[in-house]
Amino acid sequence: MKEIIVKDKVISQNTFTMIAGPCSIESEEQMREIMENVEADFYRGGVYKPRTTADSFQGLREEGLALFKKLRNEYNKLIITEIMSIDQLKDVGDIDIIQIGARNMQNYDLLIAAGKTNKPILIKRGLANTVDEMLGAISYIEAQGNNQIILCERGFRSFDNITRFTLDVAAIPVLKARTPYPVIVDPSHAAGVQELVEPLALAAVAAGCDGLLIEVHPNPECALSDADQQLTINQYKNLKVKVEKCVQLR
């Protein structure tokens, strides 16, 4: 079983890790509210955003990253952010965890480059990828000598659009049986709407996930990306209490 140690935190199949924060970093005020009021092991916030259309908010990029690092140091927190290109790897050398998003799960050159770093890599399942394809993707990271890998199930596209994506709860025990790596679940992107984040999160905990990644925003209705699915800080607090109770029952 792989233990990923980041400062005082251990991410593994024996611990439970909460990752929380907004879809996108939008302002200093927004991120201060998050860091001051949200309790989590790692704080997330997108700066390089893989958006479906070029005219939507693309993230604050280098400026957002500088802000994230500044606040991480000031509040003494641990942070994770997504990169979309090999180029961006040089900017995130001192980020605690690098995220490879669903849209890049099969970007093999990016996986190879990430594998050459000594950073923990959280890799999300692609929008239309099988578990076997996900295992193939991580083999590229491992082949470069990096086995600090965190797997993330976030739902795949199915025939039913009742949810934004279909959360594959069965993938949790399957990934845990087939790999030594921790499996984190992101119910936010699967749900697509606030109301479904909690039931999906609790189902994932019951199925044995090793942590959750939850999108939280001080003012979700004004969010510049994924406005419908981000929880308020209070909703997150309530969810966290329930998650902790469920974890204890396992």
Q: Determine the interface stretch with ligand PEP among 52-60, 100-108, 170-178, 216-224 (rule: CB under 6 A).
A: 100-108
**E strand intervals along the chain:** 4-6, 9-11, 17-21, 42-44, 79-83, 97-100, 121-124, 149-153, 183-185, 211-215
Residue (1 or 193) nearer to ligand PEP, CB: 193
| Tokens standing for residue 202 | 């609790």
Q: Which of 119, 182, 226, 239 binds Mn ion (CB under 5 A)?
A: 226
Q: Any alpha helices (H) in 149-192, and if so which ranges?
A: 171-178, 187-191
Examine residue 121 and tell whether it contacts Mn ion (CB under 5 A). Answer: no
Examine residue 101 and tell whether it contacts ligand PEP (CB under 6 A). Answer: yes
Q: What is the DSSP string of 42-101?
A: EEE-BSS---SSTTS----HHHHHHHHHHHHHHHT--EEEEE-SHHHHGGGTT-SEEEE-
Residue 111 CA to residue 100 CA, distance in Å, equals 8
Give the one entry of Mn ion, ligand PEP, none that residue 168 binds, where binding means its C-beta sits below a cut-off of 5 to 8 angstroms depending on kind.
none
Q: Determine the interface stretch with ligand PEP among 29-37, 61-69, 101-109, 139-147 (rule: CB under 6 A).
A: 101-109
Give the shortest CB-225-to-ligand PEP separation in angstroms: 7
Give the shortest CB-24-to-Mn ion separation in angstroms: 7
- Among candidate residues 12, 99, 111, the one with its CA nearest the CA of residue 4: 12
Examine residue 23 and tell whether it contacts ligand PEP (CB under 6 A). Answer: yes
Examine residue 96 and tell whether it contacts Mn ion (CB under 5 A). Answer: no
| Tokens standing for residue 171 | 């993938």
Residue (23 or 83) nearer to Mn ion, CB: 23
Contact at 8 Å (CB) between 134 and 153?
A: no
Contact at 8 Å (CB) between 177 and 207?
A: no
Examine residue 25 and tell whether it contacts Mn ion (CB under 5 A). Answer: no
Q: Determine the interface stretch with Mn ion among 26-34, 100-108, 156-164, 218-226 (rule: CB under 5 A).
A: 218-226
Give the one entry of ligand PEP, Mn ion, none that residue 217 binds, where binding means its C-beta sits below a cut-off of 5 to 8 angstroms depending on kind.
none
- Indicate the helix (H) or strand (E) that contains 134: helix 131-143
Q: Which residues bind ligand PEP (CB under 6 A)?
A: 23, 46, 50, 82, 101-103, 124, 154, 186, 189
Q: Which residues bind Mn ion (CB under 5 A)?
A: 23, 226
